[in-house]
Chain A
Amino acid sequence: MNGIFFAILGAAIATVLAGIGSAKGVGSAAQTAMGVLSEDSSMFGKMLVLTLLPGTQGLYGFIVGFLILVSSGLLGGSADVTLAQGIAYAGASLAIGFGGLFSGIAQGKAAVSGIAMTAKDEKNFSKGMVSVTLVEIYALLAFIVSLLVVIQIPNMAI
């Protein structure tokens, strides 16, 4: 038995869970932003920035998923994965999967507040934006962990 199933599972976990986090985050931010835009459509640019901030988790998850597919050889390779390697891919994906899921939702909440603050006074935009990116670091750390492990797996003697 080889580890293809687990490698695919890993790619799916990374992409789906982080994607859910971003989707929820961007979704709630977009709802609020549209409320603001219905009052004052000139703030579209600022609202767009704040709305898109929780979107990076999904990208990170997607990249880890993609790298798993590439490094396991599923895309244009021999797909020669041992069982232990497959399980390792699945394990590596958990970091960005769950990190992305929860940080995406949390960042979405922060973005909602940032949007409300910017709506009150446009000068608050940069402060809001920076505060929202504070959440990002945790998604980033999760991403780096997943990434470093995924890249190492083909070289591991397992």
Chain B
Amino acid sequence: MRTILIVMLVGFLGTDITAAVPTLEQAQQISSRTGRPILVMAGADT
């Protein structure tokens, strides 16, 4: 089971994600393979 499945959300910027995939390309590959939608959170570099 992928580590993505233990993702945790924390407040916002809302939504701080542990174990998020590092790149858009990787997210698209996983999404295409499994049908899971991509949850994109775009914010400023902090």
Q: Are chains A and B native binding partners rather than an unrelated pairing?
A: no
Binding site for B on A (CB under 8 A): none
